[in-house]
Structure 1
Amino acid sequence: MAKTKAKSTDILSLIAAEHHQVEKLFAEAEKAKGAKLVEQFNQIYIELILHARTEELVLYPALREYEETEQYVEKAEEEHEEVSVILEEIKALKPTQAEFQEKMSELKEILENHVEEESEIFNAVRECMSDRELTGLGQEFQETKAKLVSNVEAALAM
């Protein structure tokens, strides 16, 4: 039942739900230690890389089609690159190292800023695209993300 409902969800709702999920993962990571912290980071890594790559493949090309929304793509791509670099830096650290927590805090701050800007972007997108387009993009988003999961999980293991 939940899968059917998710299939009819527009891309903006899916993205907002993923942002909320990552916020919850960060809250859990802040309380975790040792192996549990590594597990939480691994989940954050997978979620963020999947989210960014899927946005880049599905949402950004759609945003480039409209003058009102294409302006947001370059900044978002820069933020994704910044997040990717920090994720790789954290992945190379041990949770007992002070830099691990510093980088996690830096990552969380970048993501909080990204989410704060969300409403402005989403409003612009809703003005340009129909509900039908947003729902179609939502389905494409979910399908694309599902295809990327194994590659992202493999990248984490490296």
Structure 2
Amino acid sequence: MVSTLDDTKRLSIATKLADMKALQNLLINNEQQFIQDCTDDEIRDRLQDMLKDDQKNLGILDTVIVQYGVKGEPKKTSQKMIEQVQELMEGSELTLFEKVQEHELLKHKQTMAGLLIHKAAQVVGADVEAAIAPLNTVNFENRAHQEQLKGILEILGVRELTGLQPQQGLWARVQDAVAALTGVVGSVVTRTDDEMTIRELLLMDHTKADTLFMEILSANDPQKIQEYFGQLYKDIKVHGMAEEQVVYPAVRPYYEHTQEIYAQTDEVMEMLDEIKAVDPASSEFKAKVEQLRTAVRTHINQEEKDIFPKLRDNFSHEQQKQMATEFKTAKSRLQEQMAASLTEQDS
């Protein structure tokens, strides 16, 4: 019987993502406090832009965590560090310069965490890379923020030490550094929305499923096959149930074959449970997975060919974003329920 327990590598990435979300909330709180405390209009404007980016990036982190599909909690040491820093930031012990200096270090910590997750995904599995793809935007913007913060620190530091203004040309240097960084990153384009549309989220799920099927069918190690199928099982189950709760009821008035889509989903769910009972080392396992892949691909093709245009033509961009939020919330709730159920089965 195939287990759906997460392996250590995937759980470690989930924990690091949870650390990033907790730290992202601290960064937002810090920037809100800086904006209140700062009297320099230009610095305030740059902090306002940074705050907007970080609020958007919190939404992107939420999306990555749900798409990843493995639940994690922040490490206790991370939570303790965040509480200590928050106490310092809210107190009067540090000057504004010192607080922003600490904030820049936190940005560096967040940047390195995002890059580490990206590198870890490359060695754990292609499906993990697919799930965390939006994290590239967060990583890029955190690195750009570091350059902006260096400029803010130069101004605040010179004023604090000398009472004088730093030399002119500072912001031009900062913008040159950000532009150079953009050139290094290349194809990364920052998002202007804090939420993807429902079609974008569904496409991410479809891509991840395709990747997991490829990993299962190309693997020869039963343990790796078990790991990949365990993730596929959870992803497709949660995806299908969330669609039945959010997407299909919304599109039903515009699509006459909605019941057919429901039936396809039920068939896939039954196939998943059937495969779960098969030994991944047996000769029939991959044959059944291949049958499942065909069924899932048929469902995806119909969804992308028929339902996606209905979503595009009958729902505004804002409505599609709202549906994405509801879909993500449903997936998160279902993931928690499934994790609790698996824990009970193993105890």
Amino acid at match of 1:79: Q
> Are positions 1:50 and 2:238 aligned together?
yes
* Residue in 1 that maps onto 2:184: none
Given that residues 90 and 104 in structure 1 are in contact (C-alpha distance below 8 angstroms), is that contact kept between their aligned partners in structure 2? yes
Contact 2:246–2:323 (8 Å) recurs in 1: yes
Q: 1:44 to 1:155 in 2, by over 3 A?
A: farther
Deviations 1:59-115 (A, max 9, x none): 111112x2x22x232111111111111100110010122221111000001111122
Percent identity of equivalent pairs: 28
Q: Partners of 2:336 and 2:311 in 1: how far apart?
A: 30
1:112 aligned to which of 297, 304, 329? 297
Correspondence 1:89-100 to 2 at 5 A: 89-100=274-285
Task: Give the Å deviation of 1:4.
Answer: 2.3
> How big is the shift at 1:152?
2.3
In structure 1, C-alpha distance between the alignment counterparts of 2:217 and 2:284, rounded to whole Å: 14
CA radius of gyration, larger in: 2
2:260 pairs, out of 59, 75, 97, with 75
Greater relative contact order (Cα < 8 A, sep 6+): 1
Instruction: Give aligned pairs, total.
Output: 155
Q: Paired residue for 2:332, among 137, 146, 154? A: 146
Deviates further, 38-47 or 97-106: 97-106
Task: For residue 21 of structure 1, report the CA deviation from its aligned partner.
Answer: 0.6
CA distance in 2, matches of 1:109, 1:156: 27
Cα pair 1:51 1:145 within 8 Å, conserved: yes
Deviation at 1:124, TM superposition (A): 1.9
RMSD of aligned alpha carbons: 1.7
Q: How does 1:4-43 map to 2 (within 5 A)?
A: 4-5=59-60, 6=63, 7-32=194-219, 33-43=221-231
Structure 2 portions without partners, runs of 5+: 1-53, 64-193
CA offsets 1:10-36 (integer angstroms, 9 cap, x no match) = 111101110001101111111222111
Contact 2:251–2:307 (8 Å) recurs in 1: no
More moved, 38-47 vs 27-36: 27-36
Q: The residue matched to 1:136 in structure 2 has which SS? A: helix
3-state SS in 1 of match to 2:291: helix
Kept in 1, the 8 Å contact 2:242–2:331? The answer is: yes
Q: Distance in 1 between matches of 2:340 and 2:274?
A: 17
When normalised by structure 2's length, the TM-score is: 0.42
Structure showing the higher helix proportion among its residues: 1
Calculate the TM-score normalised by the size of structure 1. 0.89
Deviation of residue 150 (structure 1)? 2.4
